Amino acid sequence: MRSSVARLIRSSSASPSRLSGNAFFGNATPSDQRHIEKPFKVKEAEPVNVTKPSPHKLLVLGGSGFVGSHVCKEALDKGLVVSSLNRSGKPSLNEPWADKVIWNQGNLLEPASLKDAMDNVSAVVSCVGGFGSNSFMYKINGTANINAIRAAAEKGVKRFVYVSAADFGLVNYLLQGYYEGKRASEAELLSKFTYGVLDS
């Protein structure tokens, strides 16, 4: 066995051209340079200018309220572009986060004033709600949010999150307009946005 291995090594070392020629260059030998392919040149790729995707724009309805202000701050911390809607435009909030929000002037009870606020919006979060007489509560919790849901659907907004409230029996009876408005908004949301989100 050792002698056959030794013969194999001697025959390989005796004719290196045959080994290298057959293994790497087909029938060509190192002395036959015509058949050796020249190394190919690598051209540098041209730089491609890739535009960074614009951050998602979030519209927070009720952004100056207790819940809405927390939503705005959290969204800004996540790097989103945040806008909000207010009847007077920018509210008089002396907080740093409020200066980073794009404030739109509009009224949720006037659907025409919502269209511009919905431009280039990826998602809407509605934190709008209020208390008062039954008719007032239905208007704020129901009609105002229904108008926003319809405006967002018409503009092709992809997501709509509605902050609602759980029903607590006796409280539901005492605040009838509040809960009727919330339920009407929930029904509108589920009819317009298959992927809408209810949060209570």
Name residue, tokens 């939503």. 71
Cβ 157 vs Cβ 121: under 8 Å = yes
Work out the mean pLDDT of the chain and round it to a whole number.
79
Give the pLDDT score at 88.
Answer: 80
**CA-based nearest residue to 132, from 164, 96, 176:** 176
Instruction: Give the residue with greater pLDDT, 52 vs 142.
Output: 142
What is the band of 165 on the pLDDT scale with cuts at 50, 70, 90?
confident
Q: Percent of the chain beyond pLDDT 70?
A: 67
* Topology of the domain comprising 57-192: Rossmann fold (3.40.50)
Q: Is the pLDDT of residue 44 over 70?
A: no
Q: CA 33 → CA 19, 20, 22, 27, 95, distances in Å? A: 16, 13, 14, 12, 78
pTM: 0.68
Q: Percent of the chain beyond pLDDT 90?
A: 48
Give the pLDDT score at 24.
Answer: 41
Q: Is the pLDDT of residue 177 over 70?
A: yes
Give the pLDDT score at 95.
Answer: 87
Give the pLDDT score at 121.
Answer: 93
What is the band of 138 on the pLDDT scale with cuts at 50, 70, 90?
very high
Give the pLDDT score at 143.
Answer: 96
pLDDT in tens, 63-96: 989 999 999 999 999 999 999 998 887 887 888 8
Please list, in sequence order, all residues whose beta carbon lies within 8 angstroms of the beta carbon of residue 87, skipping any fewer than 6 positions away.
105, 106, 107
What is the band of 182 on the pLDDT scale with cuts at 50, 70, 90?
very high
State the virtual CA torsion across 163, 84, 196, 147 in degrees, nearest 10. 90
Give the pLDDT score at 109.
Answer: 94
Strands (E), the chain: 57-61, 81-86, 102-105, 123-126, 159-163, 197-199
Least confident range of 126-130, 151-155, 164-168: 164-168
What is the band of 20 on the pLDDT scale with cuts at 50, 70, 90?
very low
- Joined together, the tokens standing for residue 105 give 């002037």
Instruction: Give the residue with greater pLDDT, 149 vs 94.
Output: 149
